[in-house]
Amino acid sequence: MKKLLKISVLILGIFILPFSAYYGQAQEKLVELNWYFVGYGEDEDTELVEKAINKYIQNYTNLNCTINLHCYDWGSYNSKMAKKIKNREEFDICFTANWSLNYYDNAKEGAFLRLNELLPIYAPKTTALLGEGYLKGTEINGSCYGIPSYKNSVEQYSLFIRKDLAEKYKMNLSTVKNLEDMEPFFEVIKEKETDIYALNSQDVVYSFGLLNMKKLLPTENLYHEDAVAGPGAVYYDTKDYRVFNELERPEVIAFFKQMHSYYEAGYISGNAINEANRVMTNVFCTIDIAATAEHYDSTYQGYEYIRIPISNPIVPDYCITNAIQAISSTSKHPEEAIKFLELVNTDKYINNLLIYGIEDIHYTKVKGKNDIIQFTENHERYYYEIPWILGNVKNTYSFTETERKGKQEISIKNQMGQVDTTMGFVFDFTPVQEQIQKCELIWDPYVHYLSIGLYDPEVYVPIVLKSLEDCGSKEIIAEMQRQLDEWKNLQEK
């Protein structure tokens, strides 16, 4: 009964605006903002959370707005938002990314407002939090069209090794620095665990990043909505800004040979190409870019993993553009919308309201641990499960101490990551679209098979290079070089 009374009082407090809401700063007519984002659809208590946010804004901030939250489900978000944008409907904020509601295309077509001059004025704390390098990742021809979420944006290839098997065979992994160092352990697994493959090669399809190469076509990562396959890359730390065909680089050929030798040795499944699930439970070691072993444990339940980094940490642009809030060019209140996003990114209370709902209704804090929470029986009425989509992950509460520590280390990890030298360069492949379409038919299957070890590079690489050249690969590389040179010259002015 006491618990029910407490919840009733909390809800009543949310719906009744204080006296100050009708006088002082709130005498001015409030601006109504509409924010659209993707998820699992609107929850039962979304309106309750909206009212809590708006009450807080009026009581504790200088903002002159209220917010309406609109969460569309994964299947309908793109089509619904594309229709709004096409019809020039008025709204204020929307989620966009390289994998959802295409950030690059919509920005170029005028759907989003340019923010370069506005962010330092209306979101100074967020601007400082993100830093110049982070914001540069959102730029298209020098213009920033959105506020990226502050989260772990470092990509570092690592080996994830099943801890139970490493302990079972008393493996000393302290000397492991690269994939080659794992070969004696692969042999142990092959000999003694006949139902287990030593290496999951599915994730090494995206191996060019492991070799410090940045693809200039949106193919190297798993997130890009308009991914296409073909040649063309630069080194992340390039000093000469030269574009090259990856298949002509000796380190790529060496990697293909290494993977093929593992296939021939029986370390890799002969059916790797047909594995429907990237996560194979019958695998000892996987190459992946997951940030922590804890993340891997939670994703691939049933085993604990040991993580060993095998590449330098990098902050690539696609790890920044995979979560952005944009201001619609149809918004009548862009300044107020930016101020609101400043609040989302810097105010812990608002941040957690958006993610977890209302304290003592949807969650409670663990006694003696201010930032660690647990769900109540009402949590299904409101819980936004993807906090990195909405803003600053550092401010969100955690369910475990390990999770909390991981969030606190985000800044350190992001600062450790080498910033992509060509951050902000976006290749426009329209001039060579026909050549790319032809090359994709060659690149996609052959390079895939080469990467996971199923093809012999000494046989297939010369064939692939000749076929790519016949399809126009040299024209693609030349166009990439022309655009990159032009972009570089603009950066130096």
Contacting residues for 126 by C-beta, under 8 A, at least 6 apart: 119, 147, 341, 342, 345, 346, 392
| Cα gap 479→96, rounded to integer Å | 28
The pLDDT value recorded for residue 404 is: 86
Contact 236, 420 (CB under 8 A): yes
The pLDDT value recorded for residue 227 is: 58
The pLDDT value recorded for residue 368 is: 86
| Cα gap 30→17, rounded to integer Å | 14
Domain spans of the chain?
A: 2-147+324-356
Rg from Cα positions in the chain = 25
| Cα gap 227→322, rounded to integer Å | 13
Rounded mean pLDDT of 65-72? 98
The pLDDT value recorded for residue 298 is: 53
* 3 state SS for 49-88: HHHHHHHHHHHHCCCCEEEEEEEEECCCHHHHHHHHHHCC
| Other C-beta atoms lying within 10 Å of the C-beta of residue 411 | 14
Task: Decide: residue 420, CB within 10 A, 0-12 exposed, 13-18 middle, 19+ buried.
Answer: buried
| Cα gap 49→91, rounded to integer Å | 20
What is the tens place of the pLDDT at every residue in 245-301? 999 999 999 999 999 999 999 998 876 555 544 455 688 998 887 665 555 565 555
Token readout for 98 is 């390289």
* 3 state SS for 428-465: CCHHHHHHHHHHHHHHHHHHHHHHCCCCCHHHHHHHHH
pLDDT at 323 over 90: yes
What's the helix, strand, coil split of the chain in %, to 5?
A: 50, 15, 35
With H, G, I as helix, E, B as strand and everything else as coil, classify residue 186: helix
The pLDDT value recorded for residue 240 is: 96
Q: How many residues does the chain have?
A: 493
H-run or E-run covering 469 = helix 457-471
DSSP bridge pairs for 96 = 324
Measured CA distances, 188 to 165, 266, 268, 287, 416 (Å):
10, 12, 14, 18, 35
pLDDT at 410 over 50: yes
Nearest partner of 115 among 338, 339, 422, 319, judged by Cα: 338
What is the tens place of the pLDDT at every residue in 327-374? 999 999 999 999 999 999 999 999 999 999 999 999 999 998 889 999
The top-scoring range by mean pLDDT among 150-164, 225-239, 348-362 is 348-362
Q: Which CATH number fits domain 2-147+324-356: 3.40.250.10, 2.60.40.10, 3.40.50.1100, 3.40.190.10?
A: 3.40.190.10
pTM of the predicted model, to two decimals?
0.82
Pairing state between β 139-140 and 143-144: antiparallel
Nearest partner of 256 among 418, 437, 465, 420, judged by Cα: 465
Nearest partner of 483 among 248, 493, 491, 249, judged by Cα: 491
Token readout for 337 is 């919308």
CA 12 to chain centre: 38
Nearest partner of 278 among 300, 293, 245, 262, judged by Cα: 300
Contact 63, 57 (CB under 8 A): yes
| Cα gap 23→21, rounded to integer Å | 6
Using pLDDT thresholds of 50, 70 and 90, give the confidence band for residue 21.
very low
What is the tens place of the pLDDT at every residue in 172-200? 999 999 999 999 999 999 999 988 899 98
pLDDT at 123 over 70: yes
